[in-house]
Amino acid sequence: MILLSKAQCSALRGMAIVGIFMHNYLHWLGPMVKENEYTFTQDNADRMLAEFINFQPSTFILQLFSFFGHYGVPVFLFLSGYGLVKKYETPSEPTLEGMACRQGRRTFLWKHYMKLFPMMLLGFVVFAMVDWMTPGRHHWAWTDIIAQLTMIINLLPDPDHIIWPGPYWFFGLMMQLYLIYILVLHRRHWGWTAGLMVVCTVLQAMCFDDPEGDTLNRLRYNCIGGMLPFGMGLLLARWEGKIKPCTNAAHLVVLLLSILLIFSLSLNFWCWLFVPVFIITSHVAFVRILPESAMRPLVWLGALSAAIFVAHPVTRKIFIPISRHGDILDGLVMYIVATILLSMIYRLVIKKLQEK
């Protein structure tokens, strides 16, 4: 059984990018509930619970995006792990990607670095120009610029203040996971992947006495924080042939249970570490029951997701002052429209850069 079709994978990317680019706008606004992404703050979890208790229809969806939208990142990590197995470990006719993997680890890493670099460079340069022309300009150290371009900035101290614009830390995370995959996990027994998932989760759990501290923060900016969803993608791709087909009713049950667990586990530090598992099961169950016609908008967004990812910090910097001055929805709508339009241009430019 094929767990996910190409269309379903694209729909998952579409769902993930909507969460990310909505979250990265809304969580900067004062009235919104702040997320627990790199660290765990009990007050943030309590505020989200209060939003459920004191339900406000006009802002509830926005609060959900602000608090939970960052979980689009684990969905991308899951899809990356799933895709790597499909490209490099299937026994079918060898693809160019599979040949590159077998030709050497350096070739593999260079190929993936050069897939990411044009996207990051385009976004970084355009953002720097917009940032320079708008209020609240960031002052980059030259070492931070080099670290960003070489995708090692995640490893430097105080990542909260040196990674700007924020979302581009993801490129460094992906290079770390590519390195781990090709050096440790490629075609290895599933126990290697499961073991790494356990070790990385335990390392985060050991920060229980300081859940808002720098140690946990830095772990989660790097591969240790991303290993759980990435490993899920690797394992599910390898085991999907052993998974029996499920009915839509079963997928619906998985979806509803996953949603319930996402909300409840987010309220406690120990449980919060496992929320990405149920983020992934909920998303997979959702696309499995979604009719093809209803999936098309998400598939379209999924095809545009890489461009949206690099474009949205630019449009956020331009339009967020509107929302900060009280017109939250006006600024948000302009941000969404401008991001989609700019992303369509970005996608054309990125394709040209990658072809070279």
Q: What is the pLDDT of residues 295-347, one digit of tens each?
A: 999 999 999 999 999 999 999 999 999 999 889 999 999 999 999 999 999 99
- Model confidence band, residue 352 (pLDDT cutoffs 50, 70, 90): confident
Q: What is the DSSP string of 47-62?
A: HHHHHHHT--TTTHHH
Averaged over 244-257, what is the pLDDT? 91
The pTM for the full model equals 0.95
What percentage of the chain has pLDDT greater than the value 90?
84
Note the pLDDT of residue 94. 56
For 30-76, how does the pLDDT look when each residue is reduced to its tens digit (9 = 90+)? 899 999 999 999 999 999 999 999 999 989 999 999 999 999 999 99
Residue 103 has pLDDT above 90, yes or no: no
DSSP 3-state of 317: helix
Q: Rounded to 10 degrees, what is the CA torsion of 139, 173, 316, 26?
A: -120
What values do phi and psi take at 275, rounded to 5?
Answer: -55, -40
- 201 CB-side CA count, 13 A: 20
Residue 166 DSSP label:
G
The gap from C-alpha 130 to its chain's centroid, in whole angstroms, comes to 24
Note the pLDDT of residue 98. 60
- Measure the CA–CA gap between 171 and 175, rounded to whole angstroms: 6
Closest alpha carbon to 288 in 237, 260, 252, 256: 252
For 186-218, how does the pLDDT look when each residue is reduced to its tens digit (9 = 90+)? 999 999 999 999 999 999 999 999 999 999 999
Burial of 161 (0-12, 13-18, 19+ CB in 10 A): exposed
- Measure the CA–CA gap between 167 and 319, rounded to whole angstroms: 17
Q: Which residues contact 184 (CB under 8 A, 6 or more apart)?
A: 192, 196
Residue 230 has pLDDT above 90, yes or no: yes
Note the pLDDT of residue 246. 82
The residue behind tokens 């948000």 is 332
Q: Which residues contact 235 (CB under 8 A, 6 or more apart)?
A: 190, 193, 194
The residue behind tokens 């684990």 is 74
Q: Which two tokens stand for residue 123?
A: 């976004």
| Identity of the residue numbered 67 | F
Helix or strand (DSSP H, E) at 24: helix 6-26
Note the pLDDT of residue 101. 62
Note the pLDDT of residue 102. 60
For 108-162, how does the pLDDT look when each residue is reduced to its tens digit (9 = 90+)? 999 999 999 999 999 999 999 999 998 888 888 999 999 999 999 999 999 999 9
Quote the mean pLDDT of the chain.
Answer: 93
Is there a contact between 71 and 17 (Cβ–Cβ < 8 Å)? Answer: no
Residue 96 has pLDDT above 60, yes or no: no
- Measure the CA–CA gap between 95 and 88, rounded to whole angstroms: 8
Closest alpha carbon to 134 in 324, 300, 262, 296: 324
Residue 275 has pLDDT above 60, yes or no: yes
Note the pLDDT of residue 304. 96
For 291-308, how does the pLDDT look when each residue is reduced to its tens digit (9 = 90+)? 989 999 999 999 999 999
Closest alpha carbon to 169 in 198, 147, 185: 147
Q: How many CB atoms lie within 10 A of CB 344?
A: 13
Note the pLDDT of residue 90. 76
Note the pLDDT of residue 264. 97
